[in-house]
Amino acid sequence: MSAPGPTRPGGVAGPDAEPVLAAEVLPEHEWQARRAAHVRRVDAWLEPHLHRRGERRAHPVEDFLFTYYSHRPARLRRWHPGAGVVLAGDAARAAYGGSRDYLGVPAGIVVDPATLAARSDSIRWIRDLLAATRARPAFLGCFGLHEWAMVYRLPQEEVRHSAWPLRLGAEGTDQVVESHRIRCSHFDAYRFFTEPARPRNALRPARETQRDLEQPGCLHANMDLYKWAYKLSPYVRSELVADCFELAREIRELDMRASPYDLSALGCRPVPIETPEGRAEYAAAQRGFAERAEILRDQLVRACDDLLALADKDPDPGRPSPR
């Protein structure tokens, strides 16, 4: 008698032939240890945010990754092994068997490769963007002026973080914008510039030119590695998503320390980019983040290549995939 074929959540039988090219099978004790370590790591970031949210208190630095990006805390907390990895044991079937993203196989349960075909275009778009960004030299002369351009000539009550004062006041902030050359290449930062600030930018980023302009020194492009990682979930391992989140969290702190806001009450020592010393400090930190982001960007590109190859090998790509 042949071994039972793969099953869909709810016990629906799949084809007789094994459709999963699994690189490894994780024993129950091993994947549970990895899952527990991931949850502990992520909870250290989530718990303060969820506590503040329960008290309706906002934090302009630490809440950004949960409000600007669409990945909910519960999704960040949920661990996935990535495509091609079978989770062995009854606990795996109990934890993941009801998910539309997983497939039961004789050895255990695995991320369903049939769903990759429906997402191959978006995976390829992410891969091409990351590869194009990686190929460019890092520009380290922007000094975080995008945050200043977002408040340029606005009254205090209209700025994004209006509860926090501007370090140099409105007039001093405007002078910084007017006395520096702004060269923001990131569309999702540029789109928040005030109307008077937009003509002061050397570039005109647009969604259509994103792949042509993003460069590996940009703080926001490197924060966005978290976005691209979670958009690849559950097909990439959750440890990589968490690595990207951790980097984005640290970058966000620099982003706001170099901003026009006075956040000293939160323990954020300012990086005064209006001075030569502040610009040197910013560029040095930016260089360090770019080096760390390069490693994660490479991992994401390789993950995309592996996923696209796996999608091509799905023996029955015409099957309807769960939405």
Q: What is residue 23's predicted lDDT score, i.e. its pLDDT?
A: 64
Sign of CA dihedral 220, 64, 191, 125: positive
Once rounded to an integer, what is the mean pLDDT over residues 55-68?
92
How would you class 7 by CB atoms within 10 Å of its CB: exposed for 0-12, middle for 13-18, buried for 19 or more? middle
d(CA 133, CA 169): 36
Q: What is residue 16's predicted lDDT score, i.e. its pLDDT?
A: 34
Instruction: Inform me whether the pLDDT recorded for 4 exceeds 60.
Output: no
Q: 103 near 8, Cβ under 8 Å? A: yes
Q: 69 near 227, Cβ under 8 Å? A: yes
Instruction: Inform me whether the pLDDT recorded for 5 exceeds 80.
Output: no
Q: For 282-298, what is each residue's pLDDT tens digit?
A: 999 999 999 999 999 99
Model confidence band, residue 18 (pLDDT cutoffs 50, 70, 90) = very low
Q: What is residue 320's predicted lDDT score, i.e. its pLDDT?
A: 36
Model confidence band, residue 22 (pLDDT cutoffs 50, 70, 90) = low
Q: For 247-265, what is each residue's pLDDT tens digit?
A: 999 999 999 999 999 999 9
DSSP letter, residue 182: B
**Which residues contact residue 91 at a Cβ distance below 8 angstroms, ignoring those fewer than 6 apart?**
28, 32
Instruction: Inform me whether the pLDDT recorded for 76 exceeds 70.
Output: yes
